[in-house]
Chains A and B, each alone.
Chain A
Amino acid sequence: MSFFETYGDRLITAIQVHLCYVLTSVTIGFVVALILGILLSRIPQYAKIIMPILSIFQTIPGIVFIGVLFLYLGMIPATVIIALAVYAIFPVLKNTYTGLLDVKPEYIEAAKGCGMSPLQTLFEVELPLASPSIITGLRMSTIYTVSWAVLAAMIGLGGLGEFIYIGIASNNNELILAGAIPSAIMAIILSLLIDVLGRFIIPKGLRGAK
């Protein structure tokens, strides 16, 4: 019996679950990060203190975080999604924040001088100019999350990690690869999709300049 006949169905389910985890948590993480990034960029004097503290959280191993969350929330998908979303926040947050801070002051002054309100300046000038950096953050976040989502299997919640864990436990290389290869391909495809997204979001006028 071939590998796919035995594991095919389970593999497809695992891919779907994995993708589901990634998409949900990256979406949540992205929205939270974007809002936080914008807020922090309005108060750079405090952000200088807040950002390093947030980056400490980044250094807590995912396995510990998921484990702790599991103790409080139990074996539900929300545990995985919350944990992954928290990790997805940081790359986007950092890139949103620096992207916004890197907008040259002359553009902000010109926007003010043209009678744009602070909100208009943010949405029509600052965010578009920071968009290349934000998209880069989103790409990093997504790629990381694809690999971190493997940890879901650790608390028995499926995804491609299941194959990897069983493979390691039973010393079965085929199973390890069956988990690893699809997640690698997923990371590549998602990253390409984000490039396409970037084409729509990053203003045309910025591409010639870089």
Chain B
Amino acid sequence: MIRFENVKKKFGDTVVLNNISFNIEPGEFIVLIGPSGCGKTTTLKSINRLITPEEGKIFVNGQDISKANPVKLRRKIGYVIQQIGLFPNMTIEQNIGLVPKRLKYSKSEIKKITKDLMEMVDMSYDEYAHKYPTELSGGQQQRIGVLRALAASPPIVLMDEPFGALDPMTRATLQEEIVRLQKKLKKTIVFVTHDMNEALDLADKIIFMEHGEIVQMATPDEMLANPANDLIRDFMRKSSATSDPSNLTAADFMRTNAISVYKKRSIRECTDLMARQHIDSLLIKNDDDTYVGIITIKDVRKHGKSSGSIGEIIPNENITSDAGENAKDAFDKLYNSGDNYVVVLNNDKTIAGIISKTSMATAMADTLWGDMQ
């Protein structure tokens, strides 16, 4: 389906692709992975001629693409980018129908395609088709980005870190969806990522690249069993460490967006902040960023006056945990203490984040989900 023969590409004096050769069979889900600058994106963009290599040949469907019209070639290859790239001046339907429109599909056909595709990802046509991209959430936008790539039913779809900018939960859902779509539509997918977990979950075959060369091309199982070099082993280890629940630490589950204030801030400012952020407690820290305690809105009320600094109020002694502490121990603490959360501290006693009951539930659901798959 896609064949690279001794492909070379330089940007200035740097060699980005050094004699790349590989073959992709129809219907395969290929993931290109490697450290940044390894040439994975360049490889991807060579397939639809967004980048033209200096040497070597690339065949798509048996055709040497250097002889193809790039515009026509790209209409037969779906393309999804990390920044989503839905056109803000077009509605969702217009975005999805972009390639079919170029290929002179009729209006009713485009409508049908849009409807069917949106149904596949559980988005209602009536509700969303006439909205503009900015009215959708990031996850919904990237769903549409994927659908746009599929709209003219191209046999090949290229994806350049499509889920990189999404939060972990949305990413997981979209990963499942893409696997489901691929099984159903039997596309050949070439997918770039730097996340080994993603590669292991999605790929039929992983191509691991480094310094513009292919280090290993293998199925996930094979790569797990026999990584070709230390770098791959390292990539694998990092990802398998996080997927084994007994190795998880408190740092893996904490929310890092907890709001903290220095103790010299005035009480007034702090209550304003709580009201603005819709929260009922704040983490208090010393000038050197070390953790002092937690103050809730109740404490402020008890204190009575709104003048003075927040440091005058005696903070609660909330339970804390070290960032490196085993996640299960941190959860036990949380469960047995009756507090709403555990404050996670770094080695130097600065605030790393908090673990709440919600983040605990999310973590457990993730583990369960992983087991069920």
Contact = CB atoms under 8 A, between A and B. Distances in A.
A109 B85 contact: yes
Contacts of A116: 71, 98, 102
A205 B188 CA distance: 33
Given A115-B74, A116-B102, A110 B87 contact: yes
Interface in A100-151: 104, 106-107, 109-117, 120, 124-125, 128-129
A209 B71 contact: no
Contacts of B81: 106, 109-110, 113
A124 B71 CA distance: 15
B74 A205 contact: no
B134 A208 contact: yes
Contact of B89 (A106, A113, A115, A129): A129
A113 B135 contact: no
Contacts, number: 72
A117 B101 CA distance: 13
Interface in A126-185: 128-129
Interface string B169-183: 000000000000000
Contact of B79 (A114, A117, A203, A206): A114
Given A107-B87, A109-B85, A114 B74 contact: yes
Given A113-B48, A113-B50, A115-B72, A106 B83 contact: yes
A124 to B, nearest CB: 8
Interface residues of B, number: 28
Given A109-B50, A112-B50, A113-B81, A206 B88 contact: yes
B88 A110 contact: no
Given A113-B74, A114-B79, A128 B99 contact: no
A133 to B, nearest CB: 13
Contacts of A106: 81, 83-85
A206 B81 CA distance: 21
A8 B96 CA distance: 59
A128 B132 CA distance: 14
A121 B304 CA distance: 63
Interface in B128-168: 132-135, 148, 158
A interface bracket (residues with beta carbon within 8 Å of B): 20 to 34
Given A115-B72, A115-B102, A208-B135, A110 B79 contact: yes
A112 B74 contact: yes
Given A113-B48, A113-B74, A205 B89 contact: yes
B314 interface: no
B90 interface: yes
B197 interface: no
A148 B162 CA distance: 52
Given A106-B81, A208-B132, A115 B75 contact: yes
A109 to B, nearest CB: 6
B91 interface: yes
Interface string B216-240: 0000000000000000000000000
Contacts of A114: 74-75, 79, 98-99, 102, 148
A125 B74 contact: no
Interface of B: 48, 50, 71-76, 79, 81, 83-91, 98-99, 102, 132-135, 148, 158
28 contacts: A104-B83, A106-B83, A109-B81, A109-B85, A110-B81, A110-B86, A110-B87, A112-B50, A112-B74, A113-B48, A113-B79, A113-B81, A113-B158, A114-B79, A114-B98, A114-B148, A115-B72, A115-B73, A115-B102, A116-B71, A128-B89, A129-B89, A203-B88, A205-B88, A205-B90, A205-B91, A206-B88, A209-B88
8 tightest CB-CB pairs across the interface, nearest first? A110-B85, A205-B132, A113-B79, A115-B75, A203-B89, A115-B74, A106-B83, A128-B89
